[in-house]
Amino acid sequence: MKRLIILLVAFISIVTPICISAAILPVKAVVRITLSQPPSQDNFEGYMVFLDYESNGILVKFTFHKKRKLVYEAVVDASVPEELAKLERMCEENNRDYWDHMRFENRRGIAPLFIKHFLFELTYNSKTLGCINDITVIDWDIDRAMTSRYSKIDLNAYARFSRLDWVKDAVKEITGKEYEYDANSCPAFLAAVRDIGKCGTNGFSFYDLNAKYGGGAEALCSEFVSWYYHDEGVPFGKSIFRDIRSHEVLIDLFAYEERMYEYNNKTQRFEHSVSGEVYIPQPGDYLRRENQGHSMILAGWNEETKIAAVINGPWPVTIRKVEVQKDEDSSDKEYQIGRVNELVILSSGETDQ
């Protein structure tokens, strides 16, 4: 019977794709480097190189100018349309893999650079309410030297730590709460954090039938969320989350596992749809907006203000503010949680996070 229900859910996901996408593109990119020694010239070029899984590269040229002592900055925006177009190209269908590996290169034989700190920021043109468009991808002390001939610095490790710090800061700014994400945090949540700042989708892959995250012309918020649950796994299985294309299907999977909680705007709590059990959302949980349907991954929750910070994507992958109580009071929007995390039983017998 359970297998039959899962198959029925999968069929529904094929015929009812939900969530609307738009042509979201980067409109600005900034690279700012702080040096430990003065360079031999105040103006020079460097390249951000983005590589796909077959090592094909997109090279974006950044022209640096002195901003202040030992600080040099380069901007790619509409004033350099050829370079901006390269970043936009990475948001096209099946080009999402280019976001997965980054490095900084010297290709012009400039004098040596002794880079203490590296910053890379992206700005998107999204109009989605509550989404943060200015995203810091790298902001880290790297203490690396570049030689006067060809040299490169791999940036992925710095980006991984920087994205997590940026998410912590964004969640605190939105919810007023400070989270310490660590190895015990939901793996699907941490995987989504590693994609912060990326934009686009891969509807086809030679190596994985569950491509990331499906066709770009489709509505993909639910496929975006379910991809991480499938790829990283959740306590009640991972295969059922493969190729999900509807927020309705996603919440039904949680309801079937008795892990669905509906927000009650009278009691101002998330309550189990059958037992009435109260649950305080945790990072990694599925936040579903019914009516004007949308799927999101919870990053933080303030139980007092009823405000959530979520990971929203894939155009772009960023942090978004969701005012749950306000939305439910002032509109037809209704919210549910799909619980990925385990319950903690308090001494009083109540359930909490």
Question: Strands (DSSP E) along the chain, which ranges?
Answer: 26-35, 44-51, 57-68, 71-76, 101-106, 113-124, 134-146, 151-154, 260-264, 269-272, 278-279, 286-290, 294-302, 307-312, 318-323, 334-338, 344-345, 351-352
Amino acid at 322: V
| Distance in angstroms (rounded) separating the CA atoms of residues 265 and 320 | 21
Diameter over CA atoms, the chain: 72
- Percent of the chain past pLDDT 70, that is, above it, reads 87
Residue where the block lists tokens 């299907």: 249
The per-residue pLDDT for range 302-311, each reduced to its tens digit, is 999 999 999 9
| Distance in angstroms (rounded) separating the CA atoms of residues 95 and 43 | 32
The per-residue pLDDT for range 281-323, each reduced to its tens digit, is 999 999 999 988 999 999 999 999 999 999 999 999 999 999 9
Determine if residue 103 is left, alpha or beta; phi over 0 gives left, psi from -120 to 50 gives alpha, anything else beta.
beta
- Please state whether the predicted TM-score (pTM) of the whole model is above 0.85: yes
According to the model, what pLDDT value does residue 237 have? 84
Query: For 44-48, 150-154, 219-223, 275-279, which range has the lowest pLDDT when averaged over its residues?
Result: 219-223
Q: 88, exposed or middle or buried, with CB in 10 Å at 0-12, 13-18, 19+?
A: middle
Contacts of 42 (CB under 8 A, 6+ apart): 65, 66, 72
pLDDT bucket at 277, cuts 50 / 70 / 90: very high
According to the model, what pLDDT value does residue 9 have? 39
Cis preceding linkage at 314, omega within 30: yes
Query: For 35-49, 112-126, 196-210, which range has the lowest pLDDT when averaged over its residues?
Result: 196-210
Q: Which residue has the higher pLDDT, 243 or 66?
A: 66
Instruction: Answer yes or no: are the C-beta atoms of 76 and 84 closer than 8 Å.
Output: yes
- In degrees, rounded to 5, the angle at the alpha carbon of residue 220 between the alpha carbons of residues 248 and 30 is 140
Q: At what angle do helices 221-232 and 247-256 cross, to 10 degrees?
A: 40
The per-residue pLDDT for range 196-230, each reduced to its tens digit, is 999 998 876 665 555 677 765 566 899 999 999 99
Q: What is the DSSP string of 50-101?
A: EE-TT--EEEEEEEEEEEETTEEEEEESTTSHHHHHHHHHTTSTT-GGGGGE
Instruction: Answer yes or no: are the C-beta atoms of 148 and 223 closer than 8 Å.
Output: no
According to the model, what pLDDT value does residue 149 have? 78
According to the model, what pLDDT value does residue 345 have? 47
Q: Which residue has the higher pLDDT, 218 or 325?
A: 325
Give the C-alpha distances (Å, rounded to integers) separating 296 from 29, 70, 189: 26, 41, 11
Query: For 30-44, 97-111, 197-211, 284-298, which range has the lowest pLDDT when averaged over its residues?
Result: 197-211
Q: What is the CA radius of gyration of the chain?
A: 22
What average pLDDT does the chain have? 88
| Distance in angstroms (rounded) separating the CA atoms of residues 302 and 308 | 6
Instruction: Answer yes or no: are the C-beta atoms of 22 and 12 closer than 8 Å.
Output: no
Residue 112 has pLDDT above 60, yes or no: yes
The per-residue pLDDT for range 182-194, each reduced to its tens digit, is 989 999 999 999 9
- Percent of the chain past pLDDT 90, that is, above it, reads 72
Mean pLDDT of the 46-60 span: 93
Residue 8 has pLDDT above 60, yes or no: no
